[in-house]
Amino acid sequence: MTRRRSKQRQEIPVIPVDVGGTKYVVSTRGEAEWVKNLRADPNATIGSTAYVAREIPEQDRQAVLTAYREKAGRAVDGYFRKLPREADHPVFVVTPKG
């Protein structure tokens, strides 16, 4: 993705999760800089695939957050203890470009 201020490329590690055949990315750390960057420019590359991201509303996040926590395991438990509400964790559906 592209940083919103410097317009330079930003690389961050993410663990995409599939729910019902749809791919999502989750911010375990809440309103992180990458979240703000993705909101400003929804184009992102995961692996070698280009995607367009769209944030999903809080009321639609629970199934994705549950699947994400199951996939990521204990490595993310501390983040969810610090930020326990669904609203604390922005979730983006990512759709391949093209």
Residue 77 lies in a domain: no
Does the pTM of the predicted model rise above 0.85? yes
**pLDDT for 14-48, tens place per residue?**
899 999 999 999 999 999 999 999 999 999 999 89
Residue 71 lies in a domain: no
**pLDDT for 65-77, tens place per residue?**
999 999 999 999 9
DSSP the chain: -B-TTT--B-------EEETTEEEEE-TTSS-HHHHHHHH--EEEETTEEEEEEEPPGGG-HHHHHHHHHHHGGGGHHHHHHS-SGGGS-EEEEEE--
Residue 21 lies in a domain: yes
Q: Which CATH number fits the domain that encloses residue 45?
A: 2.30.110.10
Structural domain of residue 25, as residue ranges?
1-62+87-98
Residue 97 lies in a domain: yes
- For the chain, the domain total comes to 1
Backbone CA torsion sign across 31, 35, 39, 41: positive
